[in-house]
């Protein structure tokens, strides 16, 4: 045993045990898995939202220098983007202005008119500020013109000059325009966009504070006007900025201002996703969804396909989330755009394993216990799963050594994702699968419970099925297992399904609800004052990394006492730590209340004013710069500390321009936090990740060891005892010996098979050559061969001696013997003077050459079982003679004569069977008077072919075209008796109990009684006690002498040839070409009803033990009759052309027609449920195995259909070379086997799981 | 009876109107070609967008112009080439008599397309230290694509041949000044171009084989 094999075995065994574990404890395992998913996803909470949130980095102002372009190794805390000069330095002047004290004589406009008016003087001051030789003009960011699409803003935004933005821009920075403006609010609001807007509006842009904080409103209760003057500098000159700051502070001192001025914030903007970029992204997502669709489409044969598909997707998604979470936990920040790499990750991880698992589990034998199925399925796929995983890991490892950071990161994610995906597959998906399969079996169980209720419990079948002891028939309650179907067809009307689906799931309601929720969500999210800005603020607040790198002494937030000047001077290169915002707010609250009495006009400066731009949309800066076609994507800006300016205006001033009063300003608490990004190296992370994976696996292994006992259901055959609370579907104690459907081919006939009969244990078939073979219906062994040549010979020459030749051939007949018989037959015909040697070569030829049946099958070749349907069209001499009324009396008279004379009566009392043949032959030969038909018969008599055959017990009754009725011993192969009372060909036979009913071509109906001379032997059961379990088939032992007596002959049962004959429940039903159906009582041959209702000849009849009678005619109509009253229950037109066969189940009627359509009708309402289109010529073969399983024949195959839904369950191909052959007849045996003939072969198909798990 | 059986088995099984249209051989070929052409044009546009995107500014998001930023004849050329390749692959399979056996499912094809787009994405987005590294990585990825989704010798040979031809054609085009690459490092073009071509050939061949398989299913 090589290492590989040993490994393989070990893996397989491990998977087997694991499968047992998962299927045994589904709920704890799912809980455990969910817990681990949540645990692994927990670090994701700290992650910034994926998207375009800006990233910040804070440095001190004092020692600021423009960062160099070269990456510096030692400065690990610097982010990667902090290189080179920024796009611009932003200097903001935050102006808070109030009219104080507020006078009751002032009007609301005065709140903002005069404060806004001050902006012009401030602007003047800033523009004209000069430090040494530098002025603002030399330092500021020069912008050219606006984008072409922004012409309407041309008058407002600066062009060809410094980028300096303030509310004054509304009035072109001209005081006179402002003074003459009658309505300031209108001017401000005329540029606001209507409706929902996401990015910064012009008002935000110019005021520099969120719209509701400006105070420019008639209804403002705070009465403080806040705005900023934003200056974009291209070069940073610290002395100029400092002098500007001191100058403004000096002019407009802010009394209680404690704003820190030592920090400079660099904001890096990520690449925004434009529409152009969105297209490839959308494409990849479309491909992803197509992939998921095509993958999950393959999930089949489970209870809830969608449920499993969902579980598969959940598995993959949560494994991705887990991998991201784990990577974050170990400090690796995803720098890649998550949305972009996500589809590729899914594709790399793939759904394949999940599907393979499902397929493998589903294809295990359905009758096993659920956990055994899971275990077997897992272990059979274990090797391929492990191999695939190893391959993928190797590929990813190779990718890792490309040493490209992005690819390395991708690979790292993929590795962790793969491992976690494997974990989830093994635990989550397998468990879900086990639950699903258990549900499926439960559902099946529930479905068949009502069917069982009315039935006596069937006896338990023996462990070994042999021919002697076949399992008793089970008329209903079957389930079927099926391996991957070739294709599925949903035959229930589509719209009905859709409607049902909608109704069942209340889909419309839910869609509307979800739509509403999504809509509200979008509204909230896109509202400029709503969630989005909040989220952006949150994102900005929360550092992308944990605080792991922070020195502990900085963990306490410094509290600034009011107006402490030293704090502004302190040079702290370290950033201000995150936590404890309440400390700050407390400190500021204290400073506020301490320094400012409530009565005085109050302009307070809180920590939130330090970085007023944080309260704006994070798209504020990008949109401002984008107006000048400057992108901030992947670049950064540096924001200098804000310069506070406080303006107190007296009421007189306000009144001069128009006026204000007292204000209240309730600042919000908002914590400014910045962080240092700590960065563990990639390699450390990789090592840690691997370590964690190993630990996880070890942990699980230990857990498994603890939970799963060692000797737990090792081999799949033993079954656990019933445990309390366990599901009943686990208790199937029965495992059939054969677990998959494999047809058994019965070869031996040299020509096409004409007749087929079975009683459940034996199977008799007759081919065109007249050869009858008897098969064992269980094993498919050929028991007996009854060749035709002897009979033909004897009938043509009148000499019966000949049969010595074939009599000994009985029970074990091998192909050689058959060949011998076949080779003999031409000789015998030649000796008889019959010229048709060629008839053996080509059956159709022979058929056409037969004078008595010209063109019988010429037009309807595939409907051999329904030969009868076309008798009306035949210009046959026999039918013609029988049809005319003139002959009626004559024939009747002849029959009366027959009844008088003891015609065919075999009464030698003594002879034992082996020695019987000569005697019997003699007796037959001694009764020449008994064969009037032979005298009067046409030349076709010698060639009498078998037209109908029945098998009951071990007697085969054959009806021949010559009108002869023969009884053969099925086992011995000997002729037991022969009745030649009728001259017209027997078109149909029914063999019930000890009566045989024969329908003849001339429309007469003969009732025969089969008698044995030993009355006790009549009901003797076949063979040894082991065979005694067959109650309904009496056996005629070979010792008995059997006689067949014509008890009654109904001469003119029908005016035209009888086409169908069925007998059940003590009734004999005949259908004829004369459009009528007649019902006879079997005991006394009394005609009970003549059922009229068809407008064409009757082609098919169904009657069963429950007295259901259905008939179908050439007009395509199907009638249901009440047998007790003879009334017509329903009448539907179902087919174009003849109805070729009819079957009823408890709930529905199944009909097939010449139009190759199989229709399923509801029996009570006569509504067509659905129809199945068959292949050409295969429409007639049809059988029902149980209430829910339909079998149809096709081209070399039989198909199983679910009757309830019309789904194709499985197609079984009968042989490799049988493609071109139709299945023409299909017989369902009691033991759930199907016999069908195609060409010269018979096929015995067992449906193993039909032996359902009742016990 | 045997005769009639044979006759009826030769006759066509009943089909819906849609399928019966496709069963015509020429029509089938045309439809397949058209589908492949569509896929080729679409992929060319999208991938071109990916390449262009590196330098695209945030504003203005002029979608139309950036979609059609390349010359007008590039997408039709790609479409025609992909149609040819997609029809050629099943044909060669049939000629060589070694039908493609590996994972013939639509989900696998989708996976293949996704990986192809991913390779393009990587070539456009990922910053590589130098061009040799980029080219080697892409070559490895392409061969990996072939190994994962194709694994047939004919596929490999055809892929290499067509990739070389296409590279040669591009060289000629650039040499004659029809268009230019931003930073050529392999004579006149980018060195990763053959790898992309190879991966594209494999992908289109995969799609073409799957389409042929589907139509073959419908015909039998």
In chain A, where the domains are located: 3-46+299-445+515-523, 80-274+605-659
Instruction: State the Cα–Cα distance between residues A40 and A322, nearest whole angstrom.
Output: 5
Q: Span A105-117, mean pLDDT?
A: 77
Residue B115 at interface with chain A, using a CB cutoff of 8 Å: yes
This prediction has a pTM of: 0.42
Question: B14 pLDDT band (50/70/90 cuts)?
Answer: very low
pLDDT of residue A564: 38
The pLDDT, as a whole number, for residue A811 is 40
Cβ separation B60–A298 shorter than 8 A:
no
Mean pLDDT of chain A: 66
Asked if B13's CB is within 8 angstroms of A276's CB, the reply is no
Measured between beta carbons, the chain A residues lying within 8 angstroms of B207 are none
Range with the poorest average pLDDT among A246-260, A561-575, A884-898, A965-979:
A561-575
Position B14 in a domain: no
pLDDT per residue as tens digits for the range A376-423: 888 888 888 888 888 888 888 887 777 777 777 778 878 888 888 888
Instruction: Give the residue on A whose Cα is nearest the Cα of B62.
Output: A276
Does residue A149 belong to the interface with chain B, where contact is any CB pair within 8 Å? Answer: yes
Residues 281-340 of A with CB under 8 A from B: 283-284, 287-288, 290-291, 294-295, 297-298, 340
CB contact under 8 Å between A276 and B66, yes or no, is yes
Minimum mean pLDDT range among A177-181, A617-621, B19-23, B181-185 = B19-23
**Omega of the bond prior to B60 within 30 degrees of 0, cis?**
yes
The pLDDT of A825-844, averaged and rounded, is 40
Look at residue A901 in the predicted model and tell me its pLDDT: 41
- One DSSP character per residue, A1146-1203 reads SSEEEEEETTSEEEEEETTT--EEEEEEPPTT-TT-EEEEETTEEEEE-BSEEEEEET
Confidence of residue A124 (pLDDT cuts 50, 70, 90): confident
Best of A153, A276, A856 to substitute, by most chain B Cβ atoms within 10 angstroms, is A276
A147, A279, A1173 ranked by CB distance to B59: nearest: A147
Q: HEC profile for A904-915? A: CCCCCCCCCHHH
Q: Which pLDDT score is estimated for A877?
A: 42
Measure CB to CB from residue B3 to each of A272, A279, A844 and give the nearest one.
Answer: A844
pLDDT at A295 over 70: yes
Min CA distance, A866 vs chain B (Å)? 14
- Write out pLDDT tens, residues A1088-1104: 888 888 888 888 888 88
C-alpha angle with apex A1150: A1146 to A1152, nearest 5 degrees? 165
| Chain A residues near residue B126 by CB distance under 8 angstroms | 404, 406-407
CB within 8 Å: A752 and B105: no
Lowest mean pLDDT among A675-684, A1157-1166, B170-179: A675-684
Nearest-angstrom CA–CA distance, A452 and A444: 12
- pLDDT band of residue A150 (cuts 50, 70, 90) is low
DSSP for A484-553, please give it.
Answer: --S-----S-HHHHHHHHHHHHTHHHHHHHHHHHHHHHHHHHH-TTSHHHHHHHHHHHS-SS-GGGS-GG
Query: Higher-confidence residue: B169 or B191?
Result: B169
CB-based contact, A407 to chain B, within 8 Å: yes
CB A854 within 8 A of CB A880: no
Query: For residue A569, what pLDDT band results from cuts at 50, 70 and 90?
Result: very low
- pLDDT value at residue A1137: 79
Predicted pLDDT at A544: 41
Six-digit token string for A168: 């004054």
Identify the pLDDT of residue A444: 59
Strands (E), A884-981: 946-952, 955-960, 965-969, 975-979
Task: Specify if B40 maps to a domain.
Answer: yes
The pLDDT of residue A821: 40
Mean pLDDT of B43-65: 60
> Given a cut of 60, is residue A831 above it in pLDDT?
no
pLDDT for A1218 equals 52
Range with lowest mean pLDDT among A345-359, A514-528, A1116-1130: A514-528
Task: Find the mean pLDDT for residues A1012-1017.
Answer: 53
Helix (DSSP H) and strand (DSSP E) numbers for chain B: 9, 0
pLDDT of residue B38: 92
- Residues 6+ positions from A1140 with CB-CB distance below 8 Å: A863, A866, A869, A1099, A1100, A1112, A1152, A1153, A1154, A1179, A1180
Mean pLDDT for chain B overall: 75
pLDDT > 60? residue A187: yes
Res A174 pLDDT > 50: yes
Q: Is residue B156 in a domain?
A: yes
Measured CA to CA, the distance from residue A304 to residue A764 in angstroms comes to: 44
Q: What is the ipTM of this complex?
A: 0.76
Whether A280 and B61 lie within 8 Å, measured CB to CB: no
Of A165-179, A197-211, A885-899, which gets the smallest average pLDDT?
A885-899
Mean pLDDT of A666-677: 36
Give the one of B6, B111, B125 whose C-beta lies nearest to A291's C-beta: B111
- Provide, rounded to the nearest whole percent, the portion of chain A with pLDDT above 70: 60
Domain span holding position B93: 27-51+70-218
Element (DSSP H or E) covering residue A657: helix A651-657
> Around A492, how many Cα atoms within 13 Å sit in the side-chain half-sphere?
14
Q: Which of A18-22, A908-912, B89-93 has the lowest mean pLDDT?
A: A908-912
Residues with Cβ within 8 Å of B102's Cβ and at least 6 positions away in sequence, in order, are B149, B150, B151, B152
Subunit contact B1:A272, Cβ cutoff 8 A: no
Q: A983 pLDDT exceeds 60? A: yes
Which pLDDT band, with edges at 50, 70 and 90, does B198 fall under? very high
Question: Which residue among A404, A406, A844 sits closest to B1, beta carbon to beta carbon?
Answer: A844
Shortest CA distance from B60: residue in chain A:
A629
User: With bands split at pLDDT 50, 70 and 90, how would you rate the model's confidence at B53?
Assistant: low
Confidence of residue A738 (pLDDT cuts 50, 70, 90): very low
**Does residue B181 fall inside a structural domain?**
yes
CB-based contact B49 A626, cutoff 8 Å: no
> From CA A356, how far away is CA A385, in angstroms rounded?
8
- Among the partner residues B14, B56, B110, nearest to A294 by beta-carbon distance: B110
Higher pLDDT, A290 or B180: A290
- Asked which of A150-164, A165-179, A559-573, A622-636 is least confident by mean pLDDT, the reply is A559-573
- Taking CA atoms, what residue in B is nearest to A288? B114
Range of lowest pLDDT (A144-158, B75-89, B106-120): A144-158
Domain count for chain B: 1
Q: A284 vs B117: CB contact, 8 Å cut-off? A: yes
Range from A887-901, A930-944, B149-163 that averages highest in pLDDT: B149-163
- Over 50: is that where the pLDDT of A551 sits? no
For tokens 């936990």, name the residue.
Answer: A329
| Mean pLDDT confidence for A1039-1059 | 76
| Domain-embedded: residue B15 | no
Query: pLDDT class for B125, splitting at 50, 70, 90?
Result: confident
| pLDDT for the residue A932 | 40
Interface test with A, best of B3, B58, B104, B131 (most A CBs within 10 A): B58
Residue-wise pLDDT for A1051-1081, tens only, equals: 777 777 788 888 887 788 888 888 888 888 8
Residue A518 in tokens: 């999504």
Model pLDDT, residue A277? 65
CATH class of A3-46+299-445+515-523: mainly alpha
Under the banding of pLDDT at 50, 70 and 90, the label for residue A956 is: confident
Q: Which residues of B touch A405 (CB under 8 A)?
A: 127
A1108-1112 contacts: CB < 8 A, separation 24 or more?
A: A1108/A1144, A1108/A1163, A1109/A1069, A1109/A1077, A1109/A1079, A1110/A1142, A1110/A1144, A1110/A1149, A1111/A1060, A1111/A1069, A1111/A1071, A1111/A1077, A1111/A1142, A1112/A1138, A1112/A1139, A1112/A1140, A1112/A1141, A1112/A1142, A1112/A1151, A1112/A1153
**Could you tell me how many CB contacts below 8 A there are between chain A and chain B?**
150
Q: Check the CA dihedral A1037-A1042-A1045-A1047 and report its sign.
A: negative
The predicted model gives A989-1017 an average pLDDT of 75
Gap from A233 CA to chain B (nearest CA, Å): 22
Cβ-based contacts of B118 with chain A (< 8 Å): 284, 343-344, 347
- Beta carbons of B58 and A626 less than 8 Å apart: yes
Query: Are A585 and A669 spatial neighbours (Cβ–Cβ below 8 Å)?
Result: yes
* Residue A1113, pLDDT score: 85
C-alpha separations of A301 from A355, A436, A732, A789, B107 in Å: 12, 10, 20, 52, 19
Q: Which residue has the tokens 């004999």?
A: A1068
Q: What is the pLDDT of residues A747-768, one digit of tens each?
A: 777 777 777 787 777 788 887 7
């Amino acid at each position: 045993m090589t290492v590989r094999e040993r490994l393989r075995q070990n893996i397989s065994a491990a998977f087997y045990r694991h499968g047992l574990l998962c299927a045994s404890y589904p709920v704890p395992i799912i809980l455990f898995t969910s817990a681990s998913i949540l645990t692994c996803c927990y670090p994701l909470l700290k992650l910034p939202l994926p998207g375009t949130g800006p990233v910040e980095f804070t440095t001190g102002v004092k020692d600021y220098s423009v960062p160099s372009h070269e990456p510096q190794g030692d400065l690990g805390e610097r982010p990667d983007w902090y290189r080179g000069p920024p796009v611009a330095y932003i200097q903001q002047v935050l102006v808070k202005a109030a009219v104080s004290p507020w006078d009751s004589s002032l009007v609301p406009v005065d709140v903002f008119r005069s404060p806004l008016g001050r902006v012009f003087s401030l602007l003047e001051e800033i523009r004209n500020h000069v430090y040494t030789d530098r002025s603002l003009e030399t330092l500021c960011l020069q912008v050219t013109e606006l984008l072409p699409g922004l012409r309407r803003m041309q008058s407002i935004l600066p062009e060809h000059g410094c980028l300096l933005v303030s509310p004054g821009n509304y009035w072109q920075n001209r005081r006179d325009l402002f003074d003459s403006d009658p309505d300031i609010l209108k001017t401000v609001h005329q540029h606001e966009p209507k409706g929902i807007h996401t990015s910064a509006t012009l008002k935000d842009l110019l005021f520099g504070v969120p719209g509701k904080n400006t105070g420019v409103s008639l209804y403002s209760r705070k009465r403080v006007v806040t705005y900023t003057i934003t200056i974009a500098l291209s070069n940073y000159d610290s002395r100029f900025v400092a002098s500007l700051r001191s100058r403004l502070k000096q002019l407009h001192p802010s009394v209680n201002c404690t704003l820190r001025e030592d920090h400079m914030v660099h904001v890096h903007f990520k690449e925004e996703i434009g529409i152009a970029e969105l297209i490839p992204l959308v494409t990849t997502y479309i491909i992803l969804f197509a992939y998921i669709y095509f993958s999950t489409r393959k999930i089949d044969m489970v209870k809830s396909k969608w449920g499993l598909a969902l579980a598969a997707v959940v598995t993959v998604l949560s494994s991705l989330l887990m991998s991201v979470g784990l990577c974050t936990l170990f400090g690796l920040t995803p720098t890649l755009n998550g949305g972009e790499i996500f589809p590729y990750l899914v594709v790399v991880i793939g759904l394949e394993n999940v599907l393979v698992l499902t397929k493998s589990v589903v294809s295990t034998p359905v009758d096993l216990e659920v956990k055994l199925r899971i275990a077997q399925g897992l272990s059979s796929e274990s090797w391929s799963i492990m191999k695939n995983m190893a391959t993928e890991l190797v590929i990813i490892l190779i990718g890792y050594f490309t040493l490209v950071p992005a690819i390395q990161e991708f690979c790292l994610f993929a590795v962790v994702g793969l491992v976690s995906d494997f974990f989830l597959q093994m635990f989550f998906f397998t468990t879900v699968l086990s639950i699903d399969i258990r549900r499926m079996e439960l559902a099946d169980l529930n479905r068949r419970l009502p069917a069982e209720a009315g039935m006596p419990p069937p006896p338990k079948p023996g462990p070994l099925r042999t021919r002697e002891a076949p399992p008793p028939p089970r008329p209903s309650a079957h389930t079927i297992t099926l391996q991957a179907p070739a294709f599925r067809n949903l035959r229930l009307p589509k719209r009905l399904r859709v409607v049902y689906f909608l109704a069942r799931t209340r889909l419309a309601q839910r869609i509307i609800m979800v739509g509403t929720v999504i809509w509200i969500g979008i509204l909230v999210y896109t509202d400029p004052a709503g969630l989005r800005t909040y989220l952006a603020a949150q994102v900005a607040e929360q550092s992308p990394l944990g605080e792991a790198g922070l020195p502990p002494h900085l963990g306490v937030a410094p509290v600034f006492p009011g107006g402490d000047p030293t704090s502004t001077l302190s040079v702290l290169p370290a950033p201000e730590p995150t936590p404890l915002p309440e400390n700050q707010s407390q400190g500021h609250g204290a400073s506020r209340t301490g320094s400012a009495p409530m009565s005085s006009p109050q302009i307070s400066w809180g920590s939130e004013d330090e970085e007023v731009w944080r309260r704006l949309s994070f798209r504020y800066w990008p949109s401002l710069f984008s107006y000048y076609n400057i992108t901030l994507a992947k670049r950064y800006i540096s924001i200098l500390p804000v310069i506070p300016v406080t303006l107190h205006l007296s009421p007189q001033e306000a009144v001069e321009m128009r006026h204000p009063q007292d204000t209240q300003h309730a600042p919000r608490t908002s914590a400014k936090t910045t962080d240092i990004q700590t960065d563990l190296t990639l390699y450390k992370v990789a090592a840690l990740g691997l370590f964690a994976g190993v630990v996880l696996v070890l942990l699980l292994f230990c857990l498994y060891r603890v939970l799963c006992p060692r000797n737990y259901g090792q081999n799949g055959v033993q079954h656990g005892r019933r445990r309390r609370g366990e599901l009943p579907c686990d208790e199937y104690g029965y495992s059939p010996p054969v677990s998959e459907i494999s047809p058994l081919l019965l070869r031996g006939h040299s020509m096409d098979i004409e007749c087929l009969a079975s009683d459940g244990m034996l199977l008799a078939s007759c081919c065109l050559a007249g050869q009858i073979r008897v098969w064992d219906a269980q094993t498919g062994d050929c028991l007996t061969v009854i060749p035709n040549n002897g009979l033909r010979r004897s009938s043509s020459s009148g000499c019966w001696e000949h049969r010595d030749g074939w009599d000994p051939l009985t029970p074990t007949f091998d192909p050689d013997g058959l060949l011998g018989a076949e080779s003999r037959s031409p000789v015998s015909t030649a000796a008889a003077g019959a010229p048709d040697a060629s008839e053996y070569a080509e059956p159709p030829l022979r058929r056409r050459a037969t004078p008595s049946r010209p063109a019988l099958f010429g037009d309807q070749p595939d409907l051999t079982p329904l030969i009868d349907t076309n008798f009306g069209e035949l210009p046959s001499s026999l039918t013609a003679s029988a049809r005319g009324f003139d002959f009626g009396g004559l024939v009747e008279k002849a029959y009366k004569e027959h009844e008088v004379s003891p015609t065919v009566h075999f009464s030698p009392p003594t002879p034992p069977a082996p020695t019987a043949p000569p005697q019997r032959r003699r007796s037959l030969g001694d009764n020449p008077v008994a064969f009037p038909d032979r005298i009067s018969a046409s030349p076709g008599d010698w060639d009498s072919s078998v037209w109908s055959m029945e098998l009951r017990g071990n007697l085969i009754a054959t009806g021949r075209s010559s009108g002869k009725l023969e009884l053969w011993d099925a086992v011995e192969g000997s002729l037991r008796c022969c009745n030649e009372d009728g001259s017209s060909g027997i078109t149909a036979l029914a063999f019930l109990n000890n009566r045989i009913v024969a329908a003849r071509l001339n429309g007469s109906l003969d009732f025969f009684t089969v008698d044995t001379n030993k009355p006790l032997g009549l009901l003797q059961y076949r063979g040894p006690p082991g065979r005694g379990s067959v109650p309904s088939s009496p056996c005629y032992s070979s010792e008995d002498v059997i006689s067949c007596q014509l008890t009654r002959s109904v001469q003119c049962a029908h005016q035209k040839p009888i086409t169908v004959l069925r007998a059940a429940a003590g009734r004999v039903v005949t259908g004829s070409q004369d459009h009528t159906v007649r019902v006879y009582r079997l005991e006394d041959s009394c005609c009970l009803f003549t059922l009229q209702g068809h407008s064409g000849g009757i082609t098919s009849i169904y009657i069963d033990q429950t007295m259901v009678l259905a008939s179908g005619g050439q007009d395509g109509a199907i009638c249901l009759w009440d047998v007790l009253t003879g009334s017509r229950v329903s009448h539907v037109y179902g087919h174009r052309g003849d109805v070729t066969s009819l079957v009823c189940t408890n709930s529905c009627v199944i009909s097939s027609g010449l139009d190759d359509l199989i229709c399923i009708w509801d029996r009570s309402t006569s509504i067509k449920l659905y129809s199945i289109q068959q292949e050409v010529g295969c429409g007639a073969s049809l059988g029902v195995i149980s209430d829910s399983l339909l079998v149809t024949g096709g081209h070399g195959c039989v198909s199983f259909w679910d009757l309830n839904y019309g789904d194709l369950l499985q197609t079984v191909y009968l042989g490799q070379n049988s493609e071109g052959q139709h299945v023409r007849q299909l017989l369902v045996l009691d033991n759930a086997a199907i016999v069908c003939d195609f060409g010269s072969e018979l096929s015995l198909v067992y449906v193993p799981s039909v032996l359902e798990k009742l016990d | 009876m045997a005769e009639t059986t044979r006759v009826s088995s030769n006759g066509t099984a009943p089909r819906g109107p849609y399928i019966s249209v496709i069963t015509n051989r020429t029509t089938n070929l045309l439809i397949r070609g058209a589908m492949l052409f569509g896929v080729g044009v679409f992929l060319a546009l999208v991938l071109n967008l990916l390449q262009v995107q590196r330098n695209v500014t945030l504003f203005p998001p002029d979608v139309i112009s950036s979609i059609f930023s390349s010359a007008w004849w590039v997408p039709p050329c790609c479409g025609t080439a992909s149609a040819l390749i997609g029809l050629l692959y099943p044909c060669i399979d049939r000629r060589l008599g070694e039908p493609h056996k590996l994972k013939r499912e639509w989900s696998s094809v989708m996976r293949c397309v996704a990986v192809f787009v991913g390779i393009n994405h990587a070539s456009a987005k990922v910053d590589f230290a130098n061009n040799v590294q980029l080219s080697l990585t892409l070559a490895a990825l392409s061969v990996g694509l072939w190994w994962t989704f194709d694994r047939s010798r004919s596929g490999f040979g055809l892929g290499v041949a067509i990739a070389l031809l296409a590279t040669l054609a591009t060289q000629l085009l650039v040499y004659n000044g029809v268009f230019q690459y931003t930073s050529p490092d392999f004579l006149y073009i980018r060195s990763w171009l053959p790898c992309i071509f190879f991966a594209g050939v494999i992908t289109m061949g995969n799609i073409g084989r799957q389409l042929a398989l589907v139509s073959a299913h419908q015909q039998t």
